[in-house]
Chain A
Amino acid sequence: MFASPLAKRMAEQAGLDLGSLKGSGPNGRVVKADIEAAVSGGARKPAAAPAAAAPVAAPTPTLGAAPSADVPGMPAYEEFPNSNMRKVIAKRLTESKQFAPHFYLTIDCEIDELLKVRKELNAKGDDYKLSVNDLVIRATALALKRVPAANASWTEKAIRVYKQVDISVAVAIDEGLITPVIRDAGSKGLKQISAEMKDLATRARERKLKPEEFQGGTFSISNLGMFGIKDFAAVINPPQGAILAVGAGEQRAVVKDGALAIATVMSCTLSVDHRVVDGAIGAEFLAAFKKLVEDPLTMLL
């Protein structure tokens, strides 16, 4: 294998298959930078629609046994070798669905007020532009601070309740998806969250994230609203205990005080690891989240 000694060692530690990497060093030598790029972004296509958040932390080389695709009667195909990132996603999500007993809670939030506040805030300055997602991150972080039991992980010995809210946000990139982390999101203002998110997302797409910027995280958000998805359920990003799937805000007919009215509604579904979080706590978190989203001024406090 034509790779630098350091690259070889780092590949081994990250569980990467050197053979699948393209070297960027002289004469195609695999160097440290290639390993870092592979760990933070995968080595090859194809583009996949993000379905759920998967972390790219602590990858290991072997995948769970998959049923063979080699059955008779399939049409002609083209093969795209799995990038390391693809392999890691496959392994982690398979593990999640196998070991974490998922259950799902859905809530509808009216966001007309949130859209209005966002617009007003954005009109107030030109050094930032808040997205709905930025507000969702902030609301999630505050809700988790109010209901810390939802900010937790399962371990064999104990349930770990984290003292800080580090939110992993799923970002779709060419090779799959990656979850950069907004650290201590609970104590960051909207402007800072927005700036950090923009920076992380840009660098994620350029595959320039450092491992510490996408590893870890205590809770995930996956937002497919921009694709018009009304509601979906995401796969938990282990070892986290829950993930919030955010749908599109759309105008719907709602009943208010016995009369039909129109409101912009965003459906959010929380996938929960039942080993860590029970239904009542999940519901409590969603209620806190909804309250913040529907009364957005309270999240400016």
Chain B
Amino acid sequence: MADTQFDVIVVGGGPGGYVAAIRASQLGLKAAVIEREHLGGICLNWGCIPTKALLRSSEVSHILHNLDAYGFSAKDISYDLAKVVQRSRKIAKQLSGGVAHLLKKNKVTVVDGHGKLAGTQGGLRKVDVSKDGKPVGSYTAKHVILATGARARTLPGLEPDGKTIVTYREAMVPETMPKSLLVIGSGAIGMEFASFHHDMGCAVTVIEVVDRILPAEDEEISAFAHKQFAKQGMTIKTGVKVAKLEKGGKGARATIEVAGKSETIEVEKVILAVGIVGNVEDIGLEGTKVKVEKTHVVINEWMETGEPGVYAIGDLAGPPWLAHKASHEGVICVERIAGVKGLHPLDVRKIPGCTYCRPQIASVGLSEAKAKAAGYDIRVGRFPFVGNGKAIALGESEGMVKTVFDKKTGELLGAHMIGAEVTELIQGYGVAMTLETTEAELMHAVFPHPTLSEMMHESVLDAYGRAIHF
């Protein structure tokens, strides 16, 4: 008979759950993952990875349509959308298979089915698992980590039909490229789909309810991005309320309100990207002390819920909704369970966030406005891509690197970048922050020439009035 008793059971096999289970096993705990659909969760199957695969295709498309700049010419550039999507799906599948392999290698038991808390049994937490509504088994463990993730949020009046009006799930596997697209919501997910469609030749309109796109980013970065997208030919409207969304006309018709005036937008397709909600339903929270607020499970700094022995991590436990945050929480949670010494809670301020639209956006720490609001007396450095040799050589001379320092201590409070490849650069500042460097060490560090990373150096220098190349 299969094993049914564990030290740790993880419900959900996304980047939060599977990483927690592997770390548990490394620490000598007997671990199981219960996953109902696909190992790797949203991230590998319907989120981070497949979008990046799609965006790679749209980047190629962008280059192909600008070949002249590099001395090439080509005729009849075309693409087969089915192949583009197929490539993305294949990559997702490959990685999901990789996770299965990693779990096996680490001796983590994988249970196929839907897990649900079911009280206690013999002093242990019990989790019931069902498949297609039929019970398949009961498992017990001292510790249960809930990592059931999240799904797209829908708003009243903004309900998807899965064909014309869709969320990220359907948008990931389009059958045809629409001629026109409306993206509602300008967060990371919205802007990535907008950018993909735009570079694949679709006329894109993005609308955002607050007064700027990418509202989580530094205001200057939002403004810079807005300008760039507008220059590319995208239509962007901020401070917009959707009064009505209905099917009809070319596909869908949205009635929006901008500054008190009403407008209609007709498009072939609509992507809703208005946030996400936690998967808190049907996981046995009823009658427990687990608290749910705004569709997310409430946890403390050690991912503990109100119920002893029950933890929550990742998207289920609230923002920022990022895969690396989910994984990191999983690791800390399990290390705490295993009694690892010298643990520190996750410092939210040091979690980088990346958006892979064109231009890319990456940031870590406090925005200029947030630093000021937190009472810091600050120094701000900026360096434009146009001052960087490598950026110009790449044909990517638009972007900037912004840094925010505490004037008093020289602590790097935040870094904000927009432009080519910045998602690969941000971690330089992430490491610097974690090591608690001040501006002095950053100035001291030698950055290789010619690289985009030199802008990170220059931005720091600029904060102290010492930039060389601008």
Contact = CB atoms under 8 A, between A and B. Distances in A.
Contact of B438 (A6, A24, A26, A212): A6
Nearest to B437: A5
A209 to B, nearest CB: 15
Given A10-B409, A31-B436, A5 B342 contact: no
Contact of A6 (B344, B375, B436): B436
Nearest to B412: A6
A186 B382 CA distance: 44
B436 A32 contact: yes
Contacts of B342: 24, 26
B410 interface: yes
Interface string A91-121: 0000000000000000000000000000000
Contacts of A26: 342
A88 to B, nearest CB: 19
Given A10-B409, A13-B409, A26-B342, A5 B438 contact: yes
Contact of A9 (B344, B375, B410): B410
B408 interface: yes
Nearest to B347: A33
Interface in A12-39: 13, 24, 26, 31-32
B441 interface: yes
Contacts of B437: 4-6
B410 A4 contact: no
A235 interface: no
A7 B437 CA distance: 9
Contacts of B436: 4-7, 31-32
Contacts of B431: none
A6 B411 CA distance: 6
B440 interface: yes
B435 interface: yes
Interface in A164-208: none
A32 to B, nearest CB: 6
A206 to B, nearest CB: 13
B1 to A, nearest CB: 43
Contacts of A24: 342, 344
Interface in B334-376: 342, 344, 375
Contacts of B438: 5-6, 9
Contacts of A10: 409
B251 to A, nearest CB: 54
Contacts of A32: 411, 436
Nearest to A31: B436
Interface residues of B, number: 13
A13 B344 CA distance: 25
Interface string B371-409: 000010000000000000000000000000000000011
Contacts, number: 29
Interface residues of A, number: 12
Nearest to B408: A13
Contacts of B441: 5
Residue among A4, A13, A26, A32 with the most chain B CB within 10 A? A4
Contacts of B408: 13
A120 B293 CA distance: 36
A6 B440 CA distance: 10
Contacts of B375: 212
A9 B375 CA distance: 19
Nearest to A3: B436
Contacts of A212: 375
Interface string B433-448: 0011110110000000
Contacts of A4: 435-437
A105 to B, nearest CB: 38
Contacts of A5: 435-438, 440-441
A173 to B, nearest CB: 22
Interface in B416-436: 435-436
Interface in B162-207: none
B364 to A, nearest CB: 15
Residue among B409, B410, B441 with the most chain A CB within 10 A? B409
A4 B438 CA distance: 9
A9 B438 CA distance: 8
Residue among A9, A32, A212 with the most chain B CB within 10 A? A9
A5 B408 CA distance: 14
Contacts of A9: 409-410, 438
Interface in A250-268: none
Nearest to A32: B436
B443 to A, nearest CB: 11
A4 B409 CA distance: 12
Contacts of B440: 5
Residue among A10, A32, A212 with the most chain B CB within 10 A? A10
Nearest to B344: A24
Residue among B342, B344, B436 with the most chain A CB within 10 A? B436
A26 B440 CA distance: 22
Contacts of B435: 4-5
Nearest to A28: B342
Contacts of A31: 436
B308 to A, nearest CB: 22
Interface in B320-335: none
Nearest to A30: B436
B378 to A, nearest CB: 15
A101 to B, nearest CB: 35
A24 B343 CA distance: 9
14 contacts: A4-B436, A4-B437, A5-B437, A5-B438, A6-B411, A6-B437, A6-B438, A9-B409, A9-B438, A10-B409, A13-B408, A31-B436, A32-B411, A32-B436
Given A5-B441, A13-B408, 17 more contacts: A4-B435, A4-B436, A5-B435, A5-B437, A6-B409, A6-B436, A6-B437, A6-B438, A10-B409, A13-B409, A24-B342, A24-B344, A26-B342, A31-B436, A32-B411, A32-B436, A212-B375
Interface pairs A-B: 5 shortest CB-CB: A4-B436, A6-B436, A5-B438, A5-B437, A6-B411
